Amino acid sequence: MTVTIYTKPVGCFGCTKTKQKFTDAGIAFTEVDVTTNQAAFEYITEELGYSQVPVVVYDKENSEDHWSGLNPAKIARVIEIEAAVRQGALA
């Protein structure tokens, strides 16, 4: 499982809250600053078709989900999936 959050470092409330929710849930993620990484900017705008950050890409077992903006329902779903995986690993 990987979570990548494409962000801009300043003035992005959605970016800050998205990262905080994943951090609070103990879910590791990679943060990519689209203001300094042109390839990442092109990926989220041209390939994925988004025009606002954050963009979250969740990849689990070669199945990818992605969204743009602060989306509490999608974040909660990823946290729920990962919590179930962790519980299964502990059982």
Q: What is the mean pLDDT of residues 3-32?
A: 96
* Burial class (CB within 10 angstroms; exposed 0-12, middle 13-18, buried 19+) of 38: exposed
Q: What's the pLDDT band for 87 if we cut at 50, 70, 90?
A: confident
What the chain holds in terms of domains, given with CATH numbers, is 2-90 (3.40.30.10)
What's the whole-model pTM score? Answer: 0.92
Q: What's the pLDDT band for 1 if we cut at 50, 70, 90?
A: confident
- What is each CA distance from 54 to 1, 12, 29, 30, 89, in whole angstroms? 19, 8, 13, 12, 30
Which pLDDT score is estimated for 89? 67
